Structure 1
């Protein structure tokens, strides 16, 4: 997952999410991000969940450029993390992020943020409220192709339910 040596120049993305609408925008920018399991961390004493990945730049793709960049994503006010089908004992395993959603509790602003990955893996974050930040880090690099999606199948029941 190391970037080739041909960096591209584009403005770095820096987004904050404070509600479900903001989180939907973050999710769109993160679609198809590649994340090493070892680059995912929950820091309970700071109530922070963080990860680093390589996101495909869908905005650049609209201009005909195929690029990826390293990015950091973190959530604040995280009370509990539950993982499903995430091989935490395999830190070099790669997950492909498909979507990030928010389900409010009966008493908002608390709720559950879910990160859905290809293959049915998911991570559920029980949060006090939506508070997230996405930041691009370092140079971009060209890639040979855009991510391909297989729409022939459906999510299995476990993936639909979430963790």
Structure 2
């Protein structure tokens, strides 16, 4: 990567940490087929193209291939996401954490554009985000309607 393009490597173990990951992943795009839950390993992994908000300049910016992984996953539920449409593209808007009555368990909700969401039940927050490629220039900066 260019000297100023340092890859992100972040961990989240509480709701505040997860908010940082959520901000870094806002407007990340992924294919449904790149979201995988391994029930035996108790992990949920998502490969995505993350918009590098930290490097955005005006109307253009950069994207980078990133990997997001949740550990200690007890279950996953999706709403308005077609799991059979492996090539369908989803855009991540935010992630939030709702603690359960028994700490440190809870539910992470991933909210996608278009009304889809995913609820990830975890025994504890154990989330990692890592950039895994060189960044590339994109002519469009994501925008949001007011």
TM-score bin (small chain)? over 0.9
2:97 aligns with: 102
Please give the alpha-carbon distance, in whole angstroms, between the structure 1 residues aligned to 2:100 and 2:133: 37
* Per-residue deviation, residues 39-73 of structure 1 (Å, max 9, x unmatched): 00000011000010001000001688610000000
| Cα contact 2:60–2:140 (8 A) shared by 1 | no
**1:29 match:** 24
Aligned partners of 1:87, 1:72: CA distance in 2, in Å?
A: 21
User: For residue 126 of structure 1, what is the aligned residue in structure 2?
Assistant: 121
List, as ranges, runs of 4+ consecutive aligned residues in structure 1 with deviation greater than 3 Å: 62-65
How many Å separate the matches in 1 of 2:10 and 2:57?
A: 19
Measured in 1, the distance between the counterparts of 2:22 and 2:57 equals: 17
Query: Over aligned residue pairs, what C-alpha RMSD do you find?
Result: 1.4
Considering fraction of residues, name the structure with more helix: 1
Paired residues, number: 144
Structure 2: distance between partners of 1:90 and 1:14 = 30
2:137 to 139, 142, 145: 142
- Pairing 1:52–2:60 present: no
Q: Does 1:61 align with 2:78?
A: no
Select the residue among 36, 45, 51 that pairs with 1:41.
Answer: 36
Provide structure 1 residue ranges, at least 5 long, that are not aligned to the other structure.
1-7, 152-163
Q: Which runs of 5+ in 2 are unaligned?
A: none
